[in-house]
Structure formats: structure tokens, C-alpha cells
Amino acid sequence: MPAVALLGPRQVGKTTLVKQIAAANPENFIYLDLESTADLAKLQDAELFLTNYEDKTVVIDEIQHLPELFPVLRSLIDKDRKPGRFLLLGSASPELLRQSAESLAGRIRYRELYPFNLIETENSALNTLWYRGGFPQAFLAEDDKATVEWLSDFVNSYVTRDLAQLGLAMPSTQILRLLQMLAHSHGQLVNYSNLSRSLAVTQTTVTNAMYYLEESMLIRTLQPWHFNSKKRLVKSPKIYIRDSGMLHNLLFLPNYNQLMGHPQAGNSWEGFVIQQILSLLPKNRQTWFYRTQDGAETDLLITEGNNITHAIEIKLTNAPAVKRGHTQSLLDLKPQHAFIITPGSDEFMTKDWEVMKLEAFLNKVRELQ
């Protein structure tokens, strides 16, 4: 493709990755940072400037700050559709960028850079990765105190600056309070009425704020499965703070031991596992959860089209018990495979479920096409 957009939240490592790639052939790359006044000045006449670098890959960082650049890129690409002409880095989701980048339809490919996953850390630091999260500076910090300080600054930066730049018109104190409320609701059904009442704002205001939090890749809503079912299904999505380290920071948990004693530990583990799986899942697979009014439930479904390939229960124990609701969900859904994911159990079968530790299951996910 002539343009590739590498997307992910701030500090996930997009710039570091691209600079490492460019370091192998620095003469073939030019780097522009749209948060730099000097680089912005170069693009006052963007078409004239970029035409001078037709033989290079032009890296444009924080592309969401200059949406008017997209029509210029379209014009340049249509004159020369050479692959890899533009590498665009952004701290916003494809959906948010697509509103400004419609002119690049058919000319751009989107790729998301996730925080570290367990396989990237060589499976050796599960508890550290879960507690600290996958942002490089949080995970690689000298100690937990340094992690807490970095994550606090990270959250503060998003709340006071970045979300406003993306278009969220809401006081920073309310955004922070909303994030803290979502942390306490992590892994549970979204209740917009309760959130709006607690914040003393309209439900529309909360819905709009949630949209920006999700599009800036800080939270994730997991939708309920609703196809081909005559059951009375739960219709509300579940909410997750995407990075487990950010979640624990919002819950004021200073270390792993405090996490293990917290009421949200099980939901935190569930969200962590889901994020790990999604970081490796092919684009042709979708994810859902399943819950009926009668008590049947499954934490995560992986589908290909309308076919349920995997039903997944996530348990913070190495000796999981299968409950009636889990058994009923298999009868309802008839998935091709059913797994219970644990922190570190041996592999074994229990009724219709295959019990497996997270590391082993992630290796299975990598094999999906």
C-alpha cells in the first residue's frame, strides 16, 4: 500500500519502532513530528514540501493533529502509488482517523501496535506484566513505585491534554472521575444511567465521553453475542480498561500483592487475558461475550463470520470449576472449541472444556489464519 497507518495509544512504542526500522536505511526515510513547531512549519505548503521527497518514505507522527493533510496525501499518492510512500503514526483509532481520511480509501492500510504481550516478554514475567501492564516504560520500570509514577503521569496527560485535542469537550476532573468509575466497573456491563447520575451530567455526555475514550484506545467495550439465538440475551456491552497497568493505577493498587487482595482481581485478570488474545488475533476474527437472562454465560467468544470457533472462560485459579451457566452456554452456542484459561495450570479436560494456561493458549492464537 502507498500509505500505512500505525496506530496505538501514546507511549506504546510507535515512534521507537519506526525509528528502529529507519535506522537500518536512514537515507530512505524522512521523519516529521506534528507536535513539533518546526515540522509543522515545513508543511505550510505540504504538497510542495512532500514532492521533494518522492524517493523516500515519509514518516508523519501524530497525524491526527493535521487532518487537512489527508487530501494532499491522496493527490500525491494518485500521482505515484509506489508502496510505502507514507508511514503515518497516530494516537487515535482507525475509526476516528477514518472520518478525516476518507480520501485515502483504497490507498491506506491500518495496523495497531499493542502494548507488550506475554509472548513478547518471553512468557517469563506473567505477574509483572499483568500488574504493570504492557506500556514499555511501565513494564520496564526499575520498580513498582516507578511504574505507579509513570502511569499516573500518563493518565494525567491524557486527561488534561490529549483527549481535548481529539475533540472531547469535558472538564479534566470529570474525565478522571469517569475513568476511575470505569475502573471499578471493569469487566461488568455498562450502565450509562448510573454513570451519568454519579457524574451529575446527561447520559448523552457520558456516551460521548465513552466514545472518545474508546477511540483513543484507553477503554474497550465488548459487545454481546446476539446472532441466531432465541434466548433472552443481555444487550448491554461489557467495559474494560484496555491496559491492566492503567486499570491498577486508577484503582490505586501499589503492588501485585495489593492487586491479589482486591475485589476487582478476577475482573482484572479477565480483561488482561482478553487484551492478550486480541493483540494476536487475526483481523478476520471477531470477539464477543455471551450472557442470557437465565444465567448462561461465557467470557469471550471468537468468531469467524457467524461461526463460533472458540468459547473461552477466564479464571484466576489453576483449579477452575465448571458451573451450570458455563455448561448451558456450550449447549446454546455449540462452539468448535471450548477453553478455560488459567494463569498457570497444566492442560487437562473437564467435562466439555479444555483447561489451559494463558501462555499455551496464546500460542494457539498465533496459529490462527
Residues 354 and 312: beta-carbon distance below 8 Å: no
In a domain, 117, yes or no: no
Distances (CA, A) of 365 to 61, 113, 138, 173, 332: 31, 17, 25, 39, 24
Q: Please check whether residues 38 and 146 belong to one and the same domain.
A: no
**How would you classify the pairing of strands 238-241 and 188-189?**
antiparallel
Q: Please check whether residues 133 and 221 belong to one and the same domain.
A: yes
In a domain, 303, yes or no: yes
Q: Please check whether residues 51 and 161 belong to one and the same domain.
A: no
The Cα 346–Cα 196 span in angstroms is 44
Number of domains in the chain: 2
Backbone angles phi, psi at 29, to 5 degrees: -130, 150
Q: Please check whether residues 108 and 131 belong to one and the same domain.
A: no
Work out the burial of residue 304: count CB atoms within 10 Å of its CB; fewer than 13 is exposed, 13-18 middle, 19 or more buried. Answer: middle
String of DSSP letters for 74-102: HHHHHH---TTSEEEEESS-HHHHHTT-G
Q: Please check whether residues 47 and 16 belong to one and the same domain.
A: yes
Going residue by residue through the chain, which has 369 residues, state the pLDDT in tens, using 9 for 90 and above: 999 999 999 999 999 999 999 999 999 999 999 989 999 999 999 999 999 999 999 999 988 888 888 889 999 999 999 999 999 998 877 666 666 567 788 888 889 999 999 999 976 699 999 999 999 999 999 999 999 999 999 999 999 998 988 888 899 999 999 999 999 999 999 999 999 999 999 999 999 999 999 988 999 999 999 875 666 677 889 999 999 999 999 999 999 999 999 999 999 999 999 999 999 999 899 999 999 888 889 999 999 988 999 999 999 999 898 888 888 999 989 999 999 999 998 899 988 899 999 999 999 999 987
Q: Please check whether residues 53 and 163 belong to one and the same domain.
A: no
In a domain, 121, yes or no: no
Q: Please check whether residues 42 and 130 belong to one and the same domain.
A: no
Residues 76 and 43: beta-carbon distance below 8 Å: no
Q: Please check whether residues 288 and 166 belong to one and the same domain.
A: yes
Q: Which of 64, 83, 112 is the last residue of a domain?
A: 112
Structural domain including 65 reads 3-112
Whole-prediction pTM: 0.92
In a domain, 120, yes or no: no
